[in-house]
Amino acid sequence: MNIDRDIIQELNKWKSSPYRKPLVLQGSRQVGKSFILKEFGKTHFENCCYVNFDFEREHKSEFAATKDPVRLVSYLSSVKGIDITPHKTLIIFDEIQECNDALNSLKYFRELMPEQAVVCAGSLLGVALNKHGASFPVGNVDFLTLYPVSFKEFLAVYNEHLSQFLAQYVARKDFAKVPEIFHSQLIEAYKIYMCCGGMPESIVRYMEVRDWEQVDLVNNQILTAYTLDFSKHIDSKDIPRLNRLWYNIEDNLAKEDRKFRYALIEKNARAREYENSVEWLVLSGLVNRVFEVQTLRFPLSSCKNSAAFKLYLADTGLLRTKFRLAPTTILLGDKLFTEFKGVLAENYVLQSLLRQLDSEIYYWTSGNRAEVEFMFQHGETIIPIEVKSGNSTNSRSLSEYRKKYSPALSLRFSLKNVERNGDLLNLPLYLVDYVKELCEL
């Protein structure tokens, strides 16, 4: 079973660009980077040369011996037994973090053989790039990031009819109320996505067997693989702190304001003791960090409070599993789910915003009086986003923000149907993948 991913369109744009450089595909473990690159090679090129530097370690010596792309292509053509032809062959370097010489060779592919399409990917590549620092070919590569499967992508495999309706609805650009028969079905699909999450293997397992125990088995295996990466990629002396931080993330998110507090990890814990571990999780793509702003000015990045932030997981399905929440608590609206449904909805919205927007995402606070979950700069405007996990949309925080700053557009996501009230646009959570289109209306 294949899940059509929107990033294929971005990869095709990269292929067609006259300014194309070797491409680095980033993304956390298990989001499907290897599969996507192989699929892209199969469907958009005549053939594909695939090299996995973790599995095929024997190739490392050749890259250590030379960076000449002509020699490297001749070598790969010989050992792989295929003709490698510019414009016709896609070269894929997978698990490239295991071969820094291959990373450095990308500079020479760009300079000496720009007609040859080269892409690379790897687990914890963000960590590797940061670690290698100056040895990385800065300015000689393009970047794309593969995120977990979005709700829009999930819906296309879960219910094609609903997916087509939603695409047609958004294309109308009038944002009238969604007919109730579709609205209720889309809310149900959203809840199933929340339980399943965006890891491709989890979605495929759900679609094949419709068994939540099997989905949790997959999610737990992915979470376990993450922790095993700790011992593989960081110094042994740093592992205990990273483990304590990783297992504490849900404790911070369970707090009403979600703000990350080092003191919740262990008594008297200080930022300087754990800030490297936080950075490692961010670079690895396992968590997404959102900084606080209190006063607004342009650029919005100048307002960032680097000492105050929230940490969300890269995928809402993994977060549900990490919280040990049974799917029925979400699907049936269990009252025990009340204190956690807010953070799951926020995690879901953040995932969607990150894949759509080029600008950094923040949250706004006004002392202890008010807080808006997310905001971002779009051109010369700042757009606030409030997230409500249920049907209730009463909120003092967004009202205070709107009164203070008079934004041209404010967004509120909840389970309620579409409703417009001046600058405030209330949208159901299943429409969050269309924020970028909203901003461009």
Residue 122 carries which side chain, given as an amino acid letter? G
DSSP 134: G
Q: For the chain, state the CA radius of gyration.
A: 23
In 3D space, the residue among 93, 64, 67, 68 whose CA is nearest the CA of residue 80 turns out to be: 93
pLDDT score at 134: 43
Residue 227 carries which side chain, given as an amino acid letter? T
Residue 272 carries which side chain, given as an amino acid letter? R
DSSP 86: T
Torsion of CA 143, 65, 29, 225, to 10 degrees: -160
pLDDT score at 129: 65
Question: Contact, 351 vs 148, CB < 8 A?
Answer: yes
Residue 329 carries which side chain, given as an amino acid letter? T
pLDDT score at 254: 84
336 alpha-carbon distance from chain centroid? 28
For the chain, list the domains and their CATH numbers: 7-145 (3.40.50.300), 151-439 (no CATH)
Cα(257)–Cα(347) distance, integer angstroms: 14
- Residues of the chain under the 50 pLDDT cut: 133-134, 336
pLDDT score at 138: 77
